[in-house]
Structure 1
Amino acid sequence: MRGLASIATALAHRADELTGELVALYERELPHLVNDDENMVSLLSASVYQNIDTAFRIFQHGIDPERVEAPAAAVEYARRLAQRGTAVVDLIRAYYLGQTAVLDQALAEGARQISDPEELGLTMRHALTTTFTFIDRVTRQVVSAYEEERDRWLLNRSAVRAARVRALLDEDGVDVDATEVALGYRLRGHHVGMIAWYPADAHPPDPLVGLETVAGRLVGDGGEGRALFVPRDELCAWVWLPVEGPVLPQRRRIERVLAESDPDVRLAIGDPGVGLDGFRRTHRQALRVQALALAAGGACERALTFREVGAVALMTSDLNAARLWVEDMLGPLAVDDEQHARLRETLRVFLASGGSYTAAASRLTMHKNSVQYRVRKAEELVGRPVSDNRLDLELALNLCRWLGTGVLTRS
């Protein structure tokens, strides 16, 4: 349409002025895009100018907007925003704010050039549909560039972070100050090491995002910063939680976070440690606990801590030896069926309660006489009083509790 070409030509002479007005608009509506370093603001201005210039050329020369490519400065600006972690929604909003502002200027210019209201309406309707097609095409291209750059940037950043962490775990003489800056994590504080993973047969849509979300929620308001999250593979991550002192996240908090997450998520948690030595030690403990959980299989609890299962976890490196030792300690009581499982659990709680039938009955919500009967039956199967080798007996029972069929005897 000749009317649109004339309007576009008039506005093209004001391209520099319009660019300044849009940058000022972004300063009001999206201030973090403008309150940035000089290079980014310069690139933003170049992106705005090239988009305006391309739009006016579409109308001046009758170019099909579906065949237009996003300007180079616009694509590069999208990539830079991805590197800085700016939300993609801000990039999209900037385009539609700009579209509205330029169309408003076009309407004002059209009213000056076209006196017939009907012709003005038709002209502006065509301007609106063409501009929408152009903005839709360009935003799809710049968002695609943003997402590609974000994925590449995150992959590279994760690789660098993983290399730094491996150096921390394996080497002495690490520059702690430089590493803290590189990782964005305070190494001199207290840490809780954690392994977060999905079982091999799980198929979450975005597993690492799910695991990182769980880690962030465990830090919550009580931590001293963000968790250090290092992907190990597509289903597993090493995590360090910053804590205020030598304390674990509360079991209630862990269970609440897991209840709100994917039911396939599993956690192995070390004891709190302080400084670089504690950073390494709590991680090694978490690895031990994970080995226990993997050996136990699907019946294992979703979250295990070294404090709960440390002694048992240390025995998982040789599962066959652990199985033979459990059989030696428990005899027929190690048979894998419901009847013997009830007897084992009653005996375990009885020993954990200091050998008190009353306390065990309270914890098991059973009658005291029932506890006495089960303990006596368990003693008969073990073949000796439970007071003999009590510590070894408790350890064997805990192995059964955590490893289940991995150390039990088939019935």
Structure 2
Amino acid sequence: MEALEPAHSVAAGKGIAAYFLANVSSLADDMLRYLIERVPEVGGDAELRGLTLGSCSSNLEAVLSMVRHGIDVAAAEAPVTALEHARAMASRGHSVDVMLRFYRLGHEFFTEKLSELLTESVDDPAVALRTFIDLERYGFRYIDRISSLVAAEYVAELDRRQNRARVERADVVRALLAGERVDLPRAERVLGHRLTGRQVGFVCWADDRGVDLEGYARQVGRFLGAGHALVVADGPLAVWGWASITGEVRTSLTGMATELAGESENLHIAVGSPHSGAAGFRTSHLEAVRTRRVIELSGRPAPSITQFNDVALVDAISRDLDAARAFVAAQLGALAQDDAKERGERAALLAVLDAQGSLATAARVLGIHRNTVLQRVRRAEERRGRPATVKTAELHAALLVSDVLGASVLRES
């Protein structure tokens, strides 16, 4: 087959473009109806319909004018209405795929109209075919370029909105934690979190970035009994979380510890106590933060899950760490040394005090013989320099603090 003379198809293409330009308003109306029938997301939104019509009209006028005047498709820029249409789609939560369907379907609509007009207005089939191919190629390249530009604007708008939402959420959390008065309905709407029930705050953190902290935080929220947990990042290696509880609050997280132990070897979780309302949001969070401090002072290995109630006394005594060391030294004497023998004797004495003096119970807890417990208690009393019956409450507290914090409050061996 002989090559066609390109001049004929170029002239025909410019003529087609001129015809469509003269009727661009009705063509845009027809395209809008075509799109509405096939993209149901547009149907009930008057503003979006208006922007869709504006995008149809401005894109048709742009591409037809470029063809009419022989302008390279590489010079095409997305019309203002097309960019605004992309922003509107992002603001309404429609996916980028739904937005790009407008362009794919719009191209389909234009292809049908082009085919009809060429059939009616170009007598030479060869010229008609060449013109169709040229205009289709140009149209495809235009759509490819413009759809990339509007998709980029869609993503940018989504990022802007998400950033604004994050900033607004962070501001509400900051106000709540500062104890400021807040508009509760607005705060709940911004956070997507109920503030009228009992609040349980918790902190999840890790030593490296390879842990899905937000995922674990949501698991903690579900385990506590909340269908949805509010999770806020605290830097790259920690998140804060809150669960709003309506039913019974779990008093033990043993099951959660067992469940997570096999999933991550690098995860710590600190959980506050349940407290009511917006004030409880702050109080429980502060308890979780103080629990985290105790865990970090203790140097306990991951994974660990600790509730504030289990370390509240240790937290209170160790607020001033130097004072805590002095307290432990004064109550334990030579028993306050960080060595294996003293560690075993302290454990035995603490177990007996926990068991209200029962050697048998202490032996079961420690997994050793009753006589071994008795021997260790006597040696502990000797190191202390006085019997366990002297200042028993202070002794019990010092043993508990040294058991939890270890080297942080004990003398080096």
Equivalent residues in 2 for 1:6-21, closer than 5 Å:
13=24, 14-21=27-34
CA distance in 2 between partners of 1:59 and 1:221 (Å): 63
CA distance in 2 between partners of 1:61 and 1:221 (Å): 66
How far did 1:283 drift? 2.6
How far did 1:203 drift? 4.4
1:106 matched to which residue of 2?
111
2:289 matched to which residue of 1?
287
Structure-2 change in CA distance of 1:16 and 1:172 (3 Å): closer
2:38 matched to which residue of 1?
25
**Secondary structure at 1:188's aligned position in 2?**
coil
How far did 1:7 drift? 6.7
Q: Greater CA deviation, 306-315 or 36-45?
A: 36-45
CA distance in 1 between partners of 2:274 and 2:155 (Å): 37
Equivalent residues in 2 for 1:321-336, closer than 5 Å:
321-336=323-338
CA distance in 1 between partners of 2:251 and 2:77 (Å): 52
Residue 75, structure 1, aligned to residue 88, structure 2:
no
The question of whether the paired residues in 1 share the 8 Å contact of 2:271 and 2:291 is answered with: yes
Structure-2 change in CA distance of 1:19 and 1:310 (3 Å): same
2:54 matched to which residue of 1?
46
Q: Greater CA deviation, 108-117 or 92-101?
A: 108-117
**Secondary structure at 1:220's aligned position in 2?**
helix
CA distance in 2 between partners of 1:253 and 1:111 (Å): 70
Structure-2 change in CA distance of 1:144 and 1:336 (3 Å): farther
Equivalent residues in 2 for 1:347-362, closer than 5 Å:
347-362=349-364
Query: Greater CA radius of gyration, 1 or 2?
Result: 2
How far did 1:253 drift? 6.0
Structure-2 change in CA distance of 1:171 and 1:273 (3 Å): closer
Q: Greater CA deviation, 100-109 or 321-330?
A: 100-109
**Secondary structure at 2:272's aligned position in 1?**
strand
CA distance in 1 between partners of 2:67 and 2:234 (Å): 52
Equivalent residues in 2 for 1:1-400, closer than 5 Å:
2=10, 13=24, 14-27=27-40, 31=41, 34=42, 37-51=45-59, 53-55=61-63, 63-84=71-92, 86=93, 90-96=95-101, 98-99=103-104, 102-103=107-108, 106=111, 109-110=114-115, 113=118, 120=129, 124=133, 127=136, 133-171=141-179, 174-197=182-205, 202-203=208-209, 210-220=212-222, 223=225, 226-231=228-233, 236-245=238-247, 247-248=249-250, 251-252=253-254, 254-255=256-257, 264-297=266-299, 299=301, 302-338=304-340, 340-366=342-368, 371-372=373-374, 374-400=376-402
CA distance in 1 between partners of 2:108 and 2:89 (Å): 26
Structure-2 change in CA distance of 1:5 and 1:242 (3 Å): farther
CA distance in 2 between partners of 1:76 and 1:236 (Å): 37
How far did 1:272 drift? 0.3
Q: Deviations over 1:67-107 (max 9, x none)?
A: 433332333343344445x26xx213431564156237516
The amino acid that maps onto 1:23 is I
How far did 1:289 drift? 1.7
How far did 1:213 drift? 3.8
Aligned positions, number: 396
TM-score (norm 2): 0.74
The amino acid that maps onto 1:163 is D
Q: Deviations over 1:218-244 (max 9, x none)?
A: 333875564344555565554321111
Q: Which runs of 5+ in 2 are unaligned?
A: 1-8
Structure-2 change in CA distance of 1:61 and 1:319 (3 Å): farther
CA distance in 2 between partners of 1:140 and 1:197 (Å): 39
Q: Which runs of 5+ in 1 are unaligned?
A: none
CA distance in 1 between partners of 2:68 and 2:339 (Å): 83
Q: Deviations over 1:178-205 (max 9, x none)?
A: 5444544332211112234455xx446x
How far did 1:308 drift? 1.4
Q: Greater CA deviation, 283-292 or 364-373?
A: 364-373
TM-score (norm 1): 0.75
The amino acid that maps onto 2:246 is E
The amino acid that maps onto 1:91 is V
CA distance in 2 between partners of 1:65 and 1:353 (Å): 85
Structure-2 change in CA distance of 1:158 and 1:294 (3 Å): farther
CA distance in 2 between partners of 1:355 and 1:232 (Å): 44
Structure-2 change in CA distance of 1:47 and 1:339 (3 Å): farther
Q: Percent identity?
A: 30
The question of whether the paired residues in 1 share the 8 Å contact of 2:31 and 2:109 is answered with: no
CA distance in 2 between partners of 1:260 and 1:42 (Å): 55
The question of whether the paired residues in 1 share the 8 Å contact of 2:201 and 2:271 is answered with: yes
**Secondary structure at 2:274's aligned position in 1?**
strand
The question of whether the paired residues in 1 share the 8 Å contact of 2:198 and 2:245 is answered with: yes
**Secondary structure at 1:336's aligned position in 2?**
coil
Q: Deviations over 1:322-347 (max 9, x none)?
A: 12222233334433345544554454
Q: Deviations over 1:230-278 (max 9, x none)?
A: 5555655543211114614851564378569876554332100112343
